[in-house]
Structure 1
């Protein structure tokens, strides 16, 4: 009997030791999604002089998550044709796709957002854009076309029925639960897991950029801008197709040099060249996008952006970047040379092969959509009233408690449709408590803002806030915060409140 008990005790201890050595790799989830771009030509109202204005050409970029036939996501629009260069919007999408055959489908949905600019009759900025499209699926993309309706309903005068055309590109995202964030493993632990595939390289950069205005560039009143310097702050995301080629998205807003309100958005591609044992990089880029506002006359709004960047390794995956290039309209009506600096963070994500990695860690990421309310936001000319805006914030978690944030926002109510923000900063969050349902956070953001007669001076604002997240499930949380917004050089100085939804995930970062 003693031998029997002793043998079983040894067996239990051995099993316990063995179970402690087993490494549990977080389960890989797959989220279906698609990226899309569309174009619509909007009929503009007759101006104050009784003259017809050219149609306003709006082009949009969207990212949507798919849940079987239903989809939802975010989209931005910018003007590329007409007289309203600098007109931008941000909004949320919701839609439904129903296949009529293997290739042919109906796509019906609605976009609700806020924005405006360039002196357009946008009212408070709030608008709806429903559509009914017919689509056809090719091997790697879909083509859509159909009817759409636009209405800036909060005191605006932009209302129209128009055709739209678009392209959709299907994507899948590999992700883990946000609860797995900051879990680290040795690369050998992934040998037989679903994560054992080629890693995809990404980068995120916070930067400052100076535009030295040249040539015959003018403001919207006809005054020369030659010799002026527009100072911008923003962020850039790069995604690599292979070791050398990448595409990028770049978002900037002015904070100094001209009246507040200028911003630009670029999409493009580039070539990456490394030397000095990958400690030094040279990147050649070319972007196409839209820009304007702040009194800058960018005509139709289309801008091109050739650029060369030099990067030097500082520590871990962080590089210091210096860039030199040009930003201009295709006909050089608006022309600048550019010089900027930035801090860039590289990450090889969602794979463990393809490089000499030794460790991998799951990193947290949040996509936040929220509604801001500024109490009694000071105006330059108009009476003071509350300002409402729709905002998109992206949080990258440096560790469990500290994150880097980038945010853009556009007015949607409050008689300030042209007002927009582009701000960046740092945040701190607590660990979850109350059965892992609640956590608290505090953050400080800084950057460019202006337009809509809001008194922001040349555009630099500070925006501290603190709030709470309440977890609905492992992917979504409700979010609310109190804070303050203060303009340097302007009269804007308002308490604020916001509420929204956070989509949370973790991706695998190898090094």
Structure 2
């Protein structure tokens, strides 16, 4: 009898454990790598006598789709020469093959759009193929080789050059998007593959004011000293450990000067918490590129020291106030900064934590969308009106099954507006899935900064509502299309638009 009782108990226990594991989403790992590259582009003879080469540097993130093929996105900016404010955005694709244990070949291309700083960029569309030889070290790799750049839509920037790259493996873990908003107790998650240390990230939407302290005039001859350039943008932070972190920050001007100024920073910092983690002090230092809108940053290389104080208002949401400086190394362009932001913290993909306030895990949806926009009859300040096209990257974080927040950046690539760019944030609403769970309808309202490319956006404030749908292709990919209206407040840009793109969607385990 005892024997049968033991077997019965064992059977019930196994069935219970099996049902528990079945209810916990499977953890998958996506291999990828971050890349920073640099090339020196010979500029054609235009309005600057004896123009220097443009130092062109990029920040990329690529997914390894199998053992050798990768694809991703990247943003470039000028950091030396005479074209500060020259920026581009694009998509990457390539093949990496080992030729020995340490050596590898990397061949691929980058296609995108952008321009600025009065450069002969045409409509902004360009290609950047490369063929590199690389060497794998323990925690990173270096590669160098041939590349070719061609702004082929009416631009005259083209040529061959060497490129140099640093790559760092950067994998991430995720679950199927269908588990969106699923809640599981930490007790159950500790008996699964999610029983690991969580990774910490934050996303901040902010407004930043630059009080110009330098005496040098704008490229238009306008006096900037004493003026305040108002910026809107977003910042993504990834924590290395409890205190040290890295960040990526993008901003664009919406008031104070002629539209067109933007900056991009990559940096690191140190985080100190107090008052039972309800108050944070963060010291940051970033390096990056910036310019446009008449701001003369010479080659575009900028420094950004900053000190922020944050106060908790909800469990994961903080108000941030920052004070610092933004300047070129020689202080040709020199500003004092003051800003205000809303920051959202995310402890993700692990439950092994000393913080006893967490008792559940919830799977939150994340979308990355790459799309091509078309603005009908985009009004210009001087040139004849014509359609404008732009390449765009948007990231959505689901607040629940139906509401999401968005950040988006876009750069013109056809339509004689190569210097035009946007940086937008907003909210959206989506339906539950229809037609055998294949189709979802959505609406979103975005707003932010835009300018450049002779497009009439006034001082840069832009509003952009839209309606659209997603059609699911696989567990992680969907086709996306939408249409809407774009309106520049203070400018003549007032156009309907349509777009078509592809969406990559996953879910992340968030502690709560």
TM norm structure 2? 0.95
> Structure 2: where are the runs of 5+ without partners?
1-7
Aligned partners of 2:273, 2:216: CA distance in 1, in Å?
36
CA contact (8 A) 2:75 2:88 kept: yes
Aligned partners of 1:380, 1:48: CA distance in 2, in Å?
20
Aligned partners of 1:106, 1:48: CA distance in 2, in Å?
39
The aligned residue for residue 274 of structure 2 is 275
Once the two structures are TM-superposed, the CA of residue 48 in structure 1 deviates from its matched residue by: 4.4
The one-character-per-residue Cα deviations of 1:37-95 (angstroms, maximum 9, x if unpaired) are: 0000000001247x331000100111000021000000110000100000000000000
Matches within 5 A, 1:440-459: 440-459=441-460
The aligned residue for residue 25 of structure 2 is 26
Aligned partners of 1:354, 1:191: CA distance in 2, in Å?
11
The aligned residue for residue 500 of structure 2 is 499
The aligned residue for residue 410 of structure 1 is 411
Aligned partners of 1:302, 1:213: CA distance in 2, in Å?
17
The aligned residue for residue 38 of structure 2 is 39
Once the two structures are TM-superposed, the CA of residue 354 in structure 1 deviates from its matched residue by: 2.0
Residue 190 in structure 1 maps to residue 196 in structure 2: no
4+ residue runs over 6 A deviation:
none
Call closer, same or farther: CA 1:221–1:19 in 2, change over 3 Å: closer
Q: Secondary structure, in 3 states, of the residue corresponding to 2:31? A: strand
Aligned partners of 2:347, 2:244: CA distance in 1, in Å?
15
Q: Secondary structure, in 3 states, of the residue corresponding to 2:226? A: coil
CA contact (8 A) 1:92 1:113 kept: yes
Once the two structures are TM-superposed, the CA of residue 252 in structure 1 deviates from its matched residue by: 0.4
Once the two structures are TM-superposed, the CA of residue 224 in structure 1 deviates from its matched residue by: 2.5
TM norm structure 1? 0.96
> Structure 1: where are the runs of 5+ without partners?
1-9
CA contact (8 A) 1:114 1:389 kept: yes
The aligned residue for residue 460 of structure 1 is 461
Aligned partners of 1:316, 1:127: CA distance in 2, in Å?
45
Aligned partners of 1:279, 1:427: CA distance in 2, in Å?
29
Once the two structures are TM-superposed, the CA of residue 139 in structure 1 deviates from its matched residue by: 0.4
Aligned partners of 2:415, 2:303: CA distance in 1, in Å?
33
Call closer, same or farther: CA 1:251–1:48 in 2, change over 3 Å: closer
Aligned partners of 1:18, 1:197: CA distance in 2, in Å?
23
Q: Secondary structure, in 3 states, of the residue corresponding to 2:128? A: strand
The aligned residue for residue 4 of structure 1 is none
Q: Secondary structure, in 3 states, of the residue corresponding to 1:395? A: strand
Cα RMSD of the aligned pairs, angstroms, is 1.6
Aligned partners of 2:141, 2:216: CA distance in 1, in Å?
39
The aligned residue for residue 434 of structure 1 is 435
| Equivalent residues, number | 499
The aligned residue for residue 6 of structure 1 is none
The one-character-per-residue Cα deviations of 1:263-291 (angstroms, maximum 9, x if unpaired) are: 00001011111111111111111111000
Once the two structures are TM-superposed, the CA of residue 217 in structure 1 deviates from its matched residue by: 3.5
Q: Secondary structure, in 3 states, of the residue corresponding to 1:192? A: coil
The aligned residue for residue 97 of structure 1 is 96
CA contact (8 A) 2:477 2:505 kept: yes
Aligned partners of 2:195, 2:138: CA distance in 1, in Å?
27
CA contact (8 A) 2:20 2:188 kept: no
The aligned residue for residue 419 of structure 1 is 420
The aligned residue for residue 59 of structure 2 is 61
The aligned residue for residue 291 of structure 1 is 290
The aligned residue for residue 200 of structure 2 is 201
CA contact (8 A) 1:456 1:490 kept: yes
Once the two structures are TM-superposed, the CA of residue 19 in structure 1 deviates from its matched residue by: 8.9
Aligned partners of 1:28, 1:400: CA distance in 2, in Å?
20
Aligned partners of 2:16, 2:304: CA distance in 1, in Å?
58
Q: Secondary structure, in 3 states, of the residue corresponding to 1:118? A: coil
Once the two structures are TM-superposed, the CA of residue 310 in structure 1 deviates from its matched residue by: 0.8
Residue 486 in structure 1 maps to residue 487 in structure 2: yes
Q: Secondary structure, in 3 states, of the residue corresponding to 2:352? A: coil
CA contact (8 A) 1:218 1:334 kept: no
Aligned partners of 1:104, 1:38: CA distance in 2, in Å?
18
